[in-house]
Chain A
């Protein structure tokens, strides 16, 4: 439960908000400058192209997580929903695609199926969390395990997209200068999410619930509905992330989404969205996702040992969460 804000205590949150903003935006600048000084070709065309197109799946998934974290909830099943969508995509492209005719048609059907699956996965999680009153941390942990198994059941072995169907996924390789089509699509997706977050009653409800759920409920906000919609959207984002990964890797793997769970949470936290809800937004997440990508890309670029990479990455996440966490909340931090 949130404590009422005392008039004199306003300085604290304001300073914290500035710190969050400062950390999120300055970290990426410092990192880019640092990596460029270490390796001048860090900002070369080849690496920029790689960096920007590799960020697209993470960006889309992190956008979905932002909506859930704004509620003060969490969706740990996003990585495994991404895996299921990934294997589903390749299965449809390979098995249904050739019967549909042009490869692009198979790819579109696969996209629709993946997105529909993501929506159903989100709906189930939202229902269990909201209607059965299971904390989102536990509910999504359960679904994480469930979807991991489903991904294995669909295809235990990684499968390549058949060569004849590559025409349907080659869009991922299309670039305009250093900017890939994948990134353009991801940013368009973020823009839609931003409009949702800032211009609709649904968006306002997210902030209200994250700030103080009881007050939001008393004020007439349709809390349950907003929560379920947020989980549905995060499921769809995870599924589209899985679709992008299928196009990027030209293959599926039942574990492809697993490492993304941490990366997604890290992106949102680095972007300044509070893990206790009510503060932040998808624009910050864009910065957060790029920060994560720059850290990962840059550390490889300057040849940091793989084990040290995890330490540096962990440090950044801890720092971001420590700065952004709302210490005025005395109740459950993760709802």
Chain B
């Protein structure tokens, strides 16, 4: 009898803990930043915002910076003092870590950063740099599987990423359907070793397995760069001018592919896909020169990551009690095809940063 009582007590306790976690998760979905709960002392402190990125020449990355500026407008509206900075690594991992260490050291515990680690392997070092200074950081896209925000609680607040395998799969499927399910394609992969590049290529391979009549006539890395993709596609066209489509792991490379096709007089006759929703590619999709791209929504990534870090800094959320699904989660992505490209171009994104977890995909 005693054993049954103990067992019952245990079950009840577990149910309460489980229910509590569920209730907390439900609460977090609707969590709203209440400026009245932020101490005046915090509002008067200059909080340093930064986005740590690979290079602003990439239009997608530029939207992350705009996301930070949008969030800054929100901070203005609640009377929070702040300053902003872009930490540009130029694709150099060591520089990205140095930049973060310097930024965190400068702002001390008042540093908030969004970081897109240049390579997954440096995600921990970036978060560690922030943790050492007592600031708060959210990473996106790249990180190794065996480390995560839980390793540096509370300073490594979140890690988010759109699902790259699905992005790669969806754009490939759109391309293969456009080609009627058969023909040759060229593949411009992203930077070797980059998590996003690996996952998008994985999605492409899944789609290739479903379309046995699609053959790959050329496959190489374009290093995310327009010029390299242009050279690759030009070279391949010399050998296989009868290609039906070019799958690119990002829009910068899709731009290069389109330029090569234009030179060969094939623009509009060969399908092109990318990822990132750069304006020129979305326009090409609208005009029938490209088949599809995906919006990873840099505005949302930059702005909301900083909003969640801000809530942690202001003491409005306790990072130590956040459930794991609120520390690592997917952000929404949108497949852009001819059907919705014009609408996407005419819409201006608007976000309510007072609800930071609105950026969670599910």
Within 8 A of A (CB), among B162-216: 192-194, 198
Q: Taking the complex as formed, is A36 at the interface, i.e. its CB lies under 8 A from any CB of chain B?
A: no
Among A250, A251, A301, point to the contact of B102 (Cβ < 8 A): A301
* Residue of B with least CB distance to A54: B98
Q: Taking the complex as formed, is B241 at the interface, i.e. its CB lies under 8 A from any CB of chain A?
A: no
Contacts A47-B106, A50-B105, A250-B124 given; does A158 touch B98 at CB 8 Å? no
Q: Tell me if B146 and A162 are in contact (CB < 8 A).
A: yes
- Residues from chain A with a CB closer than 8 A to the CB of B198 are 157
Q: Taking the complex as formed, is A177 at the interface, i.e. its CB lies under 8 A from any CB of chain B?
A: no
Bound-state Cα–Cα, A1 to B95, Å: 40
Bound-state Cα–Cα, A50 to B198, Å: 33
Q: Tell me if B108 and A252 are in contact (CB < 8 A).
A: no
Q: Tell me if A157 and B192 are in contact (CB < 8 A).
A: yes
Q: Tell me if B125 and A251 are in contact (CB < 8 A).
A: yes
Bound-state Cα–Cα, A39 to B120, Å: 32
Distance of B165 from chain A, by nearest CB (Å)? 16
- Residues from chain A with a CB closer than 8 A to the CB of B193 are 155-158, 253-254
Among A156, A249, A305, point to the contact of B125 (Cβ < 8 A): A249
Stretch at the interface among B80-88, B252-260, B323-331: B80-88
Q: Tell me if B105 and A152 are in contact (CB < 8 A).
A: no
* Residue of A with least CB distance to B97: A249
- Residues from chain A with a CB closer than 8 A to the CB of B86 are 305-306
- Residues from chain B with a CB closer than 8 A to the CB of A162 are 146
Q: Tell me if A158 and B122 are in contact (CB < 8 A).
A: yes
Distance of B198 from chain A, by nearest CB (Å)? 7
Contacts A46-B105, A256-B93 given; does A159 touch B99 at CB 8 Å? no
Q: Taking the complex as formed, is B133 at the interface, i.e. its CB lies under 8 A from any CB of chain A?
A: yes
Q: Taking the complex as formed, is A101 at the interface, i.e. its CB lies under 8 A from any CB of chain B?
A: no
Render B94-118 as a binary contact track against A, CB cut-off 8 A, 1 for contact: 1101110111111010000000000
Q: Tell me if A301 and B121 are in contact (CB < 8 A).
A: no
Q: Taking the complex as formed, is A163 at the interface, i.e. its CB lies under 8 A from any CB of chain B?
A: yes
Bound-state Cα–Cα, A258 to B90, Å: 12
* Residue of A with least CB distance to B120: A158
Q: Tell me if A300 and B125 are in contact (CB < 8 A).
A: no
Q: Tell me if B94 and A256 are in contact (CB < 8 A).
A: yes
* Residue of B with least CB distance to A296: B98
Bound-state Cα–Cα, A177 to B124, Å: 24
Bound-state Cα–Cα, A253 to B194, Å: 11
Q: Taking the complex as formed, is B147 at the interface, i.e. its CB lies under 8 A from any CB of chain A?
A: yes
* Residue of B with least CB distance to A157: B193
Q: Tell me if A249 and B93 are in contact (CB < 8 A).
A: yes
* Residue of B with least CB distance to A44: B105
Q: Tell me if A160 and B94 are in contact (CB < 8 A).
A: no
Among B87, B92, B122, point to the contact of A251 (Cβ < 8 A): B122
Within 8 A of B (CB), among A44-76: 44, 46-47, 49-51, 54
Q: Tell me if B106 and A41 are in contact (CB < 8 A).
A: yes
Distance of A257 from chain B, by nearest CB (Å)? 9
Distance of A97 from chain B, by nearest CB (Å)? 15
Bound-state Cα–Cα, A258 to B89, Å: 13
Distance of A173 from chain B, by nearest CB (Å)? 9
Q: Taking the complex as formed, is A80 at the interface, i.e. its CB lies under 8 A from any CB of chain B?
A: no
Contacts A252-B121, A306-B86 given; does A49 touch B105 at CB 8 Å? yes
Q: Taking the complex as formed, is B79 at the interface, i.e. its CB lies under 8 A from any CB of chain A?
A: no
Q: Taking the complex as formed, is A248 at the interface, i.e. its CB lies under 8 A from any CB of chain B?
A: yes
Q: Tell me if A253 and B119 are in contact (CB < 8 A).
A: yes
Bound-state Cα–Cα, A93 to B99, Å: 27
Q: Tell me if B120 and A300 are in contact (CB < 8 A).
A: no
* Residue of A with least CB distance to B101: A50
* Residue of B with least CB distance to A302: B106
Bound-state Cα–Cα, A296 to B93, Å: 15
Q: Taking the complex as formed, is B144 at the interface, i.e. its CB lies under 8 A from any CB of chain A?
A: yes
- Residues from chain A with a CB closer than 8 A to the CB of B83 are 303
A residues apposed to B, CB below 8 Å? 39, 41, 44, 46-47, 49-51, 54, 152, 155-160, 162-163, 245, 248-256, 258-259, 296-297, 300-301, 303, 305-307
Q: Please give 9 more A-B residue pairs, beta carbons under 8 A apart, in addition to A157-B198, A245-B94, A251-B119.
A: A41-B106, A50-B105, A152-B192, A155-B193, A156-B193, A252-B121, A300-B106, A306-B87, A307-B88
23 pairs, A vs B, C-beta closer than 8 Å: A41-B105, A41-B106, A49-B105, A50-B102, A157-B193, A158-B193, A159-B121, A160-B146, A163-B146, A248-B125, A249-B93, A249-B121, A250-B121, A251-B93, A258-B92, A297-B102, A300-B99, A300-B102, A300-B106, A301-B102, A303-B83, A303-B85, A307-B88
